[in-house]
Structure 1
Amino acid sequence: MVYGYPSENVWELDLKRFGALQSSRTFLRHRVMEVMPLMYDLKVPRWDFQTGRQLRTSPLYDRLDAQGARWMEKHGFERPKYFVPPNKDLLALEQSKTFYKPDWFDIVESEVKCCKEAVCVIDMSSFTKFEITSTGDQALEFLQYLFSNDLDVPVGHIVHTGMLNEGGGYENDCSIARLNKRSFFMISPTDQQVHCWAWLKKYMPKDSNLLLEDVTWKYTALNLIGPRAVDVLSELSYAPMTPDHFPTLFCKEMSVGYANGIRVMSMTHTGEPGFMLYIPIEYALHVYNEVMSVGQKYGIRNAGYYALRSLRIEKFFAFWGQDLNTLTTPLECGGESRVKLDKGIDFLGRDALLEQKQNGVYKRLAMFILDDHDTDLDLWPWWGEPIYRNGQYVGKTTSSAYSYTLERHVCLGFVHNFSEDSGEEQVVTADFINRGEYEIDIAGQRFQAKAKLYPVPSLFSHKRRKDDVELSDFHGK
Structure 2
Amino acid sequence: MKSHARVVIIGGGAVGCSAAYHLAKMGCKDVVLLEMDELTSGSTWHAAGNCPTYSSSVNIMKMQTYGVELYHRLADEVDYPMNYTRTGSIRLAQSDERMFEFKHVQSMAKAQGLDYEILTPSEMKDYYPYLETHDCVGGLWDPRDGDIDPSQLTQAYAKGARDLGVQIQRFNRVTAITQTLNGEWRVDCEKGSVTCEKVINAGGYRGGEIAAMVGQYIPIVTLSHQFLVTDAIPELEALDKKLPLFRDPDDSYYLRQERAGLILGPYEWKATPYWLDGLPENFASQLWSDDLDRIEWYIGQAMARVPILEKGGVSRVINGPIPYTPDGLPYIGPAYGLDNFYHCCGFSFGITQSGGAGKIIAEQVLEGESEWDMWMLDPRRYTDYATQKYVVEKAIEVYQNEYAIPFPHEERPAGRPAKMTPVYEKLKQKGAFFGARGGWERAVWFPQTDCLSDRPEVQTVSFLDERRNWNDAVKFECKAVRERVGVLDLGGFTKYEVTGPGATAWLDYMIAGKMPRVGGMSLSYFLSRKGHVMTEMTITRLAEDHYWLISAGAGEWHDEDWLLSNMPGDGSVEFENLTDRYGTLVVAGPRSRDLLGKVTKSDLSNKAFPWLTTQGMEIGYCPDILAMRVNYVGELGWELHVPMEFLGQVYDDVMAAGEEYGVADFGLYAMDSLRLEKCYRSWKVDIIHEYTPFELSLDRFVDLDKGPFLGREALKQHLEGGIKERFVPLIIDTTIAEAPYCSPIFKDDEIVGISSSGGYGHIIEKNIALSFIRTDLAVEGTELEVSILGERYPAVVSSEPLYDPKNKKLRDVE
TM-score normalised by length of structure 2: 0.53
* SS of residue in 1 equivalent to 2:694: helix
2:582 aligned to 202, 210, 219, which one? 219
* Equivalent residue number for residue 425 of structure 1: none
- Conserved 8 A contact 2:781-2:796: no
Q: Structure 2: how far apart are the matches of 1:370 and 1:142?
A: 43
TM superposition shift of 1:3 = 5.0
* Equivalent residue number for residue 368 of structure 1: 730
The answer to whether residue 683 in structure 2 is matched with residue 338 in structure 1 is: no
Q: Structure 1: how far apart are the matches of 2:710 and 2:368?
A: 14
1:323 aligned to 686, 706, 711, which one? 686
* Equivalent residue number for residue 423 of structure 2: 60
Q: Structure 1: how far apart are the matches of 2:792 and 2:490?
A: 36
The answer to whether residue 797 in structure 2 is matched with residue 451 in structure 1 is: yes
1:204 aligned to 537, 555, 567, which one? 567
* SS of residue in 1 equivalent to 2:649: helix
* Equivalent residue number for residue 369 of structure 2: 5
Q: Structure 1: how far apart are the matches of 2:610 and 2:664?
A: 25
Q: Structure 2: how far apart are the matches of 1:260 and 1:64?
A: 24
* Equivalent residue number for residue 532 of structure 2: 169
* SS of residue in 1 equivalent to 2:599: helix
> After the TM superposition, which segments of 4 or more aligned residues of structure 1 sit over 3 Å from their partners?
1-4, 86-92, 431-436, 458-469
Check 1:265–1:468 CA distance in 2 against 1; reply closer, same or farther (3 A cut): farther
1:89 aligned to 441, 447, 454, which one? 454
Letter of the 2:770 partner, please give it. L
Letter of the 1:127 partner, please give it. F
TM superposition shift of 1:398 = 0.9
TM superposition shift of 1:160 = 0.5
After TM superposition, the structure 1 = structure 2 runs for residues 174-189 of structure 1, keeping only pairs within 5 Å, are 174-189=537-552
- Conserved 8 A contact 1:249-1:467: no
Q: Structure 1: how far apart are the matches of 2:666 and 2:781?
A: 39
* Equivalent residue number for residue 33 of structure 1: 396
The answer to whether residue 472 in structure 2 is matched with residue 106 in structure 1 is: yes
Encode CA deviations 1:241-294: one digit per residue, 9 max, x unaligned: 111111100000121233211111111111111110001112112211111111
Q: Structure 2: how far apart are the matches of 1:462 and 1:199?
A: 32
Q: Which has the higher contact order (CA 8 A, sep 6+)?
A: 1
1:439 aligned to 762, 774, 785, which one? 785
Q: Structure 2: how far apart are the matches of 1:343 and 1:333?
A: 20
Q: Structure 1: how far apart are the matches of 2:763 and 2:607?
A: 29
* Equivalent residue number for residue 21 of structure 1: 385
* Equivalent residue number for residue 130 of structure 1: 496
TM superposition shift of 1:123 = 0.8
* Equivalent residue number for residue 139 of structure 1: 503
Q: Structure 1: how far apart are the matches of 2:752 and 2:812?
A: 32
| Structure 1 gap segments, 5+ residues each | 417-427, 470-477
The answer to whether residue 755 in structure 2 is matched with residue 400 in structure 1 is: no
Encode CA deviations 1:406-444: one digit per residue, 9 max, x unaligned: 21210111113xxxxxxxxxxx24x65447421111111
1:80 aligned to 421, 433, 443, which one? 443
Q: Structure 1: how far apart are the matches of 2:538 and 2:658?
A: 27
Check 1:467–1:197 CA distance in 2 against 1; reply closer, same or farther (3 A cut): farther
Identity of aligned residues (%): 30
TM superposition shift of 1:463 = 4.1
Check 1:116–1:333 CA distance in 2 against 1; reply closer, same or farther (3 A cut): same
The answer to whether residue 593 in structure 2 is matched with residue 230 in structure 1 is: yes
Letter of the 2:727 partner, please give it. L
| Structure 2 gap segments, 5+ residues each | 1-362
- Conserved 8 A contact 1:264-1:277: yes
Letter of the 1:17 partner, please give it. R
The answer to whether residue 809 in structure 2 is matched with residue 464 in structure 1 is: yes
The worse-fitting range, judged by mean Cα deviation, of 25-34 and 201-210 is 201-210
TM superposition shift of 1:31 = 1.3
Q: Structure 1: how far apart are the matches of 2:522 and 2:657?
A: 30
2:651 aligned to 275, 282, 288, which one? 288
- Conserved 8 A contact 1:176-1:187: yes
* Equivalent residue number for residue 353 of structure 1: 715
- Conserved 8 A contact 1:159-1:249: yes
Q: Structure 2: how far apart are the matches of 1:58 and 1:400?
A: 29
* SS of residue in 1 equivalent to 2:639: strand
2:666 aligned to 303, 309, 323, which one? 303
Q: Structure 2: how far apart are the matches of 1:301 and 1:434?
A: 35
Check 1:259–1:298 CA distance in 2 against 1; reply closer, same or farther (3 A cut): same
Check 1:189–1:330 CA distance in 2 against 1; reply closer, same or farther (3 A cut): same
- Conserved 8 A contact 1:367-1:411: yes
- Conserved 8 A contact 1:3-1:167: no
TM superposition shift of 1:198 = 0.8
* SS of residue in 2 equivalent to 1:20: coil
The worse-fitting range, judged by mean Cα deviation, of 167-176 and 2-11 is 2-11
* Equivalent residue number for residue 201 of structure 2: none
The answer to whether residue 609 in structure 2 is matched with residue 250 in structure 1 is: no
The answer to whether residue 638 in structure 2 is matched with residue 275 in structure 1 is: yes
